[in-house]
Structure 1
Amino acid sequence: MAPEQTAEAASLLRNFERRFLAARSLRSFPWQILEEKLRDSSGSELLLNILQKTVKHPLCVNHPPSVKYAQGFLSELIKKHEAVHKEPLDQLYEALAEVLTAKEHPQCYRSYLLPSGDSVTLSESTAIISHGTTGLVTWNAALYLAEWAIENPMAFTHRTVLELGSGAGLTGLVICKMCCPRAYVFSDCHSRVLEQLRGNILLNGLSLEPGATAAAQHPGHNTGDSESPRVMVAQLDWDIVTAPQLAAFQPDVVIAADVLYCPETILSLVGVLHRLSACREDQRAPDAYIAFTVRNPETCQLFTTGLGRAGIPWEKVPQHDQKLFSYEEHSEMAILKLTL
């Protein structure tokens, strides 16, 4: 195989690997390019390599996606093979048979590969809305903010980070693994989300502090591995949390992703940001970064108007170059940096 063909095949493999591990929409896979490659004499070898990088990947074997997703993927893979080759590829049918006998669970796993060679694996709900919340799945802006963090690690290095509305935990886990924060506070208000969040933190090899409030009282002292951040989970209701309670975390950085989805939530978010702005009168106020998918311009306008009324200046962060994770490419996303 010529060097350029080898490079193309490697790129195709990476594309399939990243999309499958993250359980992205099957229609987003480069099926047409695969079909063209399968017409080469090396088509069967390519399919076997794809099988090893997806269904047979160690991350997938240990933490599989939903059975329905794996079944749909293998069916499409077999369809592409049959379109250009007469001889069946036994390994594909054997893999499909294994999936067909597997039991479906309400939780599935998604894995994201990091530039360091490490990965983040999340247990998520198979439903977009589950237990009355959307916080049990990862949304695009969380991936977008995680990419920006990897490109701008100094925004978090040796600092205490408070995340509002952590959801499944993707952004925070990436920052903990890639940006060397001193301490990281995951937070949410829904008890089921917090339960899943704690599980995901432990799943990724991080240790949890026994109590968020107690741990926050001494954020500058790391009693564990100096390279591992002190990690804690806090239950925060934006409508009732007080300025003193927020001040106890002593955050240097505040972040949130995909939390602008209804007027009531936006007003609550502005309120908690306003309280955070008064947390550290004797010190520098924390930096704040809010990432969101631009679904409705009126929603974004409501947020920026609310910031203006609360006296919180903001600026749009330039688009970043990193494209590490697979998400909806046609979605418009943005990050605002706030001056609290």
Structure 2
Amino acid sequence: MDLQLPSNDQVMDAGQATLCDTFQRDFLCCRRIGSLPWKELDQELTLEPPLALCILKKTINHPVCRKYPPSLQYRRLFLSELIKKHERTGAEPLDDLYSALAEVLNSEDPAVCYKSYCLPTGDLVTLSENVAIVSEGTTGLVTWEAALFLAEWAIEHNDIFNNRMILELGSGIGLTGLVICKSCFPKKYTFTDCHQKVLQQLKDNIRLNGFMLEEEHSVTSENPTTLLSVTELDWESVTEQQLLNLDADLVIAADVVYDPEIVTTFTKLLKQLFHYTKAGKKMEILVASTIRSPETYRLFQRTLDDTGLRWQVLPDHKRNIFAYDRNCTVQILKVTLQV
């Protein structure tokens, strides 16, 4: 998907062009409207229209938005705020802004909406969300900060993921795994979750991003060596045979340690994965967590200790790629088996 700018951007300075890029990144992934760089826009907007028109072209009118639009409400709120900002400059009304708003207001609310995340390569990871089931109570339909954090970390440390047999626990709708598959080129990637509707949404998102599942006997043209599969995995009832079939040498998980009630079950599963690693393979486990409750996080660390697992906090990555709340604390633990 081409994210190149329209031709009239060349009349803007570098700071304004960067601001347009930021609006595009934040808009396509549906970052909270109030978190978009409106204050920076106030400082840049003048009576001349190119900046407002550039933002419009890189967001609402961009081919990615046309093909994979965010929710109708999100687009309406975004346009309303952009028009408000332009009007405050005292400039002449821009027909393009009002035409875009009219089009949105006259559209029917679709059952499916999309979030698109821009990769450093210029490629995208696009996720579809079924509006009707987001409210059904499964956290697997939410993209959490640690998933984005781990995805950024993987891009910066792609050598750790390249040509590996990766198992992801609690994949949700697939953001982290799809970023890794597009950026790090693992040998095999197994997505897992336990909620049926999440699994179906996950399969849809894999296909949406140009991949096909291993059992469909096809792979992406971009990365012909990666095999992708989706497996139902219930941590409480997992069997020995299921663990053997997973066949991984790198296990990752993001934002799964948020509830004290699942800490013991999750930690037990990690211990089992070490014991059921196929002969000759050395297992590595990385767990990324947003520390919303320090007590729950300390409980997880103590439970790892009590289970005979060692852990260490890995250094943060340096490059910020995705838009999310960076005021929250996210850590990645490398978990190993005590010997």
Q: Which of 297, 301, 325 lines up with 1:304 in the alignment? A: 301
* CA distance, structure 1, for counterparts of residue 277 and residue 126 of structure 2: 35
Indicate which of 17, 20, 30 corresponds to 1:23: 30
| Aligned 8 A contact 2:162 2:184 in 1 | yes
**Which whole-Å CA distance do the structure 2 matches of 1:204 and 1:30 have between them?**
28
Shift of 1:224: 8.0
Matched, 1:206 2:211: yes
SS at match of 1:144: helix
Q: Tell me: CA distance 1:233–1:267, structure 2 relative to 1, closer, same or farther (3 Å).
A: same
Runs of 4+ in structure 1 over 3 Å off: 125-129, 222-228
Residues 176 and 228, structure 1, Cα contact 8 Å, conserved in 2: no
Gaps of 5+ in 2: 1-9
- Segments of structure 1 that go 5 or more residues without pairing to the other structure are 216-221
Range moving further from structure 2, 169-178 or 274-283: 274-283
The 5 Å alignment of 1:264-279 reads 264-279=261-276
Q: Aligned partners of 1:328, 1:69: CA distance in 2, in Å?
A: 18
Amino acid corresponding to residue 18 of structure 2 in structure 1: S
Choose the corresponding residue for 1:135, options 133, 140, 162: 140
Offset, 1:251: 0.3
Work out the percentage of aligned pairs sharing the same amino acid: 48
| Structure 2 Cα separation of the partners of residues 137 and 123 of structure 1 | 11
Q: Residues 326, 81 of structure 1: CA spacing in aligned structure 2 closer, same or farther, 3 A cutoff? A: same
The 3 A distance-change label for structure 1 pair 79 and 127 is farther
TM-score, with length taken from structure 1: 0.91
SS at match of 2:141: coil
Counterpart code for 1:202 = R
2:226 to 200, 225, 229: 229
User: Which of 328, 331, 338 is residue 325 of structure 2 equivalent to?
Assistant: 328
Give the deviation of 1:126 after TM superposition.
Answer: 4.5
Q: How many pairs align?
A: 327
Corresponding residue SS for 1:150: helix
Name the counterpart of 2:289: 292
For residue 58 of structure 1, report the CA deviation from its aligned partner. 1.3
Shift in Å at residue 319 of structure 1? 1.1
Q: TM-score, normalised by structure 2?
A: 0.91
Contact 1:110–1:122 (Cα < 8 Å) also in 2: yes
Cα RMSD of the aligned pairs, angstroms, is: 2.1
- Asked if the contact 2:173/2:201 (under 8 Å) is kept, the reply is yes
Task: Provide the C-alpha distance between the structure 2 equivalents of 1:72 and 1:87, rounded to a whole number of angstroms.
Answer: 21
> In structure 1, what residue type is equivalent to 2:213?
L
Post-superposition offset of 1:127: 7.9
Q: How does 1:311-322 map to 2 (within 5 A)?
A: 311-322=308-319
What is the CA distance between 1:210 and its match in structure 2?
2.2
Per-residue CA distance 1:62-89 (angstroms, 9 max, x = gap): 0100100000000000000110124111
Distance (Å, rounded) in 2 between the aligned partners of 1:173 and 1:101: 34
Counterpart amino acid of 1:75? S
Give yes or no for the alignment of 1:158 onto 2:163: yes
For residue 18 of structure 2, what is the aligned residue in structure 1?
A: 11
Alpha-carbon deviation of 1:12?
0.3
